[in-house]
Amino acid sequence: MQRSGRAARLTDGRWLSALHLLLGGAKMRHVRLLVVGTGILCALALGGCGSTTDGAVDASQPASETADPTDATSAPSSSTQSSPAATGGSPVGTESPSSSSKAASKPAAADPVTPKCTDPDLKAGYRSTDAGAGSRFGEITLTNVSDHACALAGFGGLSYVGGGDGDQVGKPATREGSWRKVIMKPGQVAVSAISEGTAANYPSSTCKPTKVDGFRVYVPDSYDSQFVAHKTTGCASKKVSLLSHKAFH
């Protein structure tokens, strides 16, 4: 009976231990279930709070926060509008790109064409400059007597005339050097350097000396001539050339 009583106590103890373990595990599971359940209840409670008055206040906060991105996007818009004015605008005293492009697209006014000098625009003359070694040097002058500027280009024509009637004496003057255009304002003078040989340097049979009354002067590109008095002796022979001249400048 004692054994059976001890065995019964042991058996009861084992059952109690097993029951304790079972109860302990159940408690742990119960605690876990309580935690999970509490979390679910809190979540449900928070979800339910959204419809409360306090929830309306909380909902307004995200609205203000979503308004911030709107302000942030509007800020670049305002800065985009003001930035070109600050950076793209021309400095004081300089021309804006738009006006400069317009100015660049506008063609420059062409210079007016200066008319060619004609015989009535000019008055011919002569002045001596030097002499020596059987030659004389001087200048044929053309003075602009008009009321406007004109262009002169070339050599013109030059020869001796005599006999009291403007007959040409000897060969016309030979040309030396090159020419360039000359713009003559009213009152300005263009000159052509000339060189005259001496008839005495040639045999009479070759030269055929002849009295000269003066020069016949042709304005460049003109068929009209002017007489300039200049007494000398020339050679009537076409084999002798006593005159040479340079272009007007």
Low-confidence ranges of the chain (pLDDT < 70): 1-111
In 116-211, where does DSSP find H-type helix? 204-207
Which distant-in-sequence residues (6+ apart) come within 8 Å of 157 by Cβ? 172, 173, 216, 217, 218, 225
Regarding the domain delimited by 119-246, which CATH topology (the fold level of the hierarchy) does it fall under? Immunoglobulin-like (2.60.40)
DSSP 69: H
Which pLDDT does position 74 carry in this prediction? Answer: 42
Return the structure tokens found at 142: 């053309």
Q: Find out whether 135 and 198 touch, Cβ atoms under 8 Å.
A: yes
Q: Find out whether 202 and 210 touch, Cβ atoms under 8 Å.
A: no
CA distance readout (Å), 93 to 8, 53, 89, 90, 122:
116, 64, 11, 8, 49
Return the structure tokens found at 88: 């793209």
Which pLDDT does position 103 carry in this prediction? Answer: 38
CA distance 216 to 7: 170
Return the structure tokens found at 190: 């263009």
Average pLDDT, the chain: 72
Which distant-in-sequence residues (6+ apart) come within 8 Å of 179 by Cβ? 153, 154, 155, 247, 248
Return the structure tokens found at 67: 């308004």
CA distance 119 to 139: 18
DSSP 100: H
Domain ranges of the chain: 2-82, 119-246
Which pLDDT does position 14 carry in this prediction? Answer: 56
Angle at CA of residue 59, ends 55 and 63, nearest 5°: 165
Which pLDDT does position 134 carry in this prediction? Answer: 83
Which pLDDT does position 3 carry in this prediction? Answer: 47
Helix, strand or coil, per DSSP, at residue 31: helix
